Amino acid sequence: MSLKFVTGVAVAAAVSFAASSIALGQDAASKDAAPENAAVCPADNGGLILPRGFCATVFADVEGAPRHIAVASDGTVYVNAAVRQGKAGEGPVVALKDSNGDGRADIIARFGGDVPGGTGIFLYKDWLYVESRGSILRYARKDGEIALQGAPETVLKNLPIDGNHTARPFAIDAQGNLFVDLGSATNSCQQDDRTKESPGLDPCEELKTRAGIWRYDANKTDQVFSENERFATGIRNAVGIAVDATGRVYATQHGRDQLYENWPKFYNSKQGSELPAEELLLLQDGGDYGWPYCYFDGAQGKRVLAPEYGGDGKVIGRCAEKLPPVAAFPAHWGPNDVKIYEATQFPEAYRGGAFIAFHGSWNRSSGPQEGYNVVFQPLADGKAAGGYMVFADGFRSGKDGADHRPTGLAVGPDGSLYVADDAAGRIWRITYKG
C-alpha cells in the first residue's frame, strides 16, 4: 500500500485505506496463520485472527459493558464496566485474576457499590483511579487485595457531561499529571446541531469547556473542573489517551460525522463515508488540533476548512495553523483506546509503537460498516514509522451487527496484550509464542 508523508504524518493513500502489511518479522493478520498456531494456541484462537506466532485466549466474560482496562504488577486486571439494566449495586469495577496460571481468570469480583460506571481506569502508585459519570475517583489498593473494599476518594469532580461524548477517559504520567478528555457536546459546533446547512458558531464557545484535554494533579483530592486547566484544544473526542516512557502524551481523535448528510452540495455519499480520517495525535501543551473549524482529509494529507465555516472540501484557510496528526486511519472507525507497547514479550519491531482499539463504525452509509479491530501503528521519536496494520481482527461477524466491539487495551506485566469488548462483555489476552 502506498503512503503519503505530509508534515510527518503517515496517511493512507487516496486509493485505499486498507491495512498495510509491515515488516514485523511476522505475516500480516491472516486466517492462514491459524493452523501454525494450533499446536500452542486454542483451537479457535479465541475467535480472533492474528499475525502468525500470536495466540489469543478468552481471559474472561463479564457482566456489563467493559471499557478501559488496567493491569497491576501482580497480574490483577481491573475493568471499568458499566452494569447492565437491573444489576445496580453490584459495582462498576470488575477485578479479574488468573490464580492458577492457565491464562484465564478464575477469580471474578465486582466492587464499587452504587457508583456509576464509565470508561477510564488507571493504576498509579498505590491507587486505582476510576472514571464515574463526571468524576474521577480513586481506591486504595492493598497488598493481596483483589476486589478493593475501601470507600473511594474523589480526585476530580464536576466534569461537564451534557450533550454528546460524555465518556471521560484519562491517563496519568510518571509525574502525576492527570490528562482527561472532555469530548465535544456537539458534532461540529453548529447553531443547530446535526442540522442540514446550519452554520458553525464562530467563535465556538464550547471550546472553553469541551473538545480538548484538561490537566490536573493525580496526587490531589477534591479538585473541581475549571476552564483554566485546559492542556490542548480542538480535539472532538479523544477516547484513548496514552503516555509513553519518555512522557509523550498521545490521544486518539474521533472525527466528525455527517459531511454528506448536512452538506450534500459539497460532498457525495462516498465522500461522507470516507471523510474525515480518524487520528492519532501527539499532544503539545497549548496545542490546537482544529475542531470544529477543521477536519483531517486522509486522501489530501492535510487539514481542510469545515463546511460550517466556509469550507468546500478543498479550502484550507485557518486550518493551515492547526497541528497535524501523527497518523491517520479510515473514517468513522471509532478509535476507543490506545496503548504504547514498551514490554519485551512481542518482537522488537512492536516496541514503542501504538496499539489502537477501534470500536467500529455506524455511519459509513454508502458501503459496509468497518473498523471493529485492533491495529498497530509503528512509531519512532513521536512520529509514524510506516503505515499501520490490522493486528487483531475477527471481532465482527454477520452483515448487520457486531458480536464484539473493541473498547479497551492494556499491557500486562509479562507483556501480554489485553483487549476489552463492550458488546459482549469479553476480555481477551494476546500472547506471542513465536
Phi and psi at residue 403, in whole multiples of 5°?
Answer: -70, -35
The Cα angle at residue 219 between residues 216 and 221, in degrees rounded to 5: 80
- In this structure, what C-alpha cell is assigned to residue 64? 456489563
pLDDT digits (tens, 9 = 90+) for 134-168: 999 999 999 889 999 999 999 999 999 999 999 99
> Helices H, strands E: what count in the chain?
3, 31
- Distance CA(187)–CA(155), nearest Å, equals 29
> Given the DSSP bridges, would you call strands 389-392 and 65-71 parallel, antiparallel or unpaired?
unpaired
- Distance CA(359)–CA(184), nearest Å, equals 18
- Residues of the chain short of pLDDT 70, as ranges, are 1-40, 83-89, 365-367, 397-401
User: What is the CB-side half-sphere exposure of residue 134 using CA atoms within 13 A?
Assistant: 10
CB–CB of 138/127 below 8 Å? yes
- In this structure, what C-alpha cell is assigned to residue 379? 512509531
pLDDT digits (tens, 9 = 90+) for 223-244: 999 999 999 999 999 999 999 9
CB–CB of 384/403 below 8 Å? no
To which residue does cell 466528525 refer?
Answer: 256
- Distance CA(42)–CA(5), nearest Å, equals 40
**Confidence at residue 143, expressed as pLDDT on a 0 to 100 scale:** 83
DSSP annotation of 265: T
**Confidence at residue 25, expressed as pLDDT on a 0 to 100 scale:** 40
Verify cis geometry, omega within 30 degrees of 0, for the bond prior to 292: yes
- In this structure, what C-alpha cell is assigned to residue 163? 450533550
For the chain, the distance separating the N- and C-terminal CA atoms, rounded to the nearest angstrom, is 26
**Confidence at residue 90, expressed as pLDDT on a 0 to 100 scale:** 75
**Can you list the domains of the chain with their CATH numbers?**
3-432 (2.120.10.30)
E strand or H helix at 273: helix 269-274
**Confidence at residue 27, expressed as pLDDT on a 0 to 100 scale:** 39
**Confidence at residue 7, expressed as pLDDT on a 0 to 100 scale:** 34
DSSP annotation of 222: S
User: What is the CB-side half-sphere exposure of residue 30 using CA atoms within 13 A?
Assistant: 11
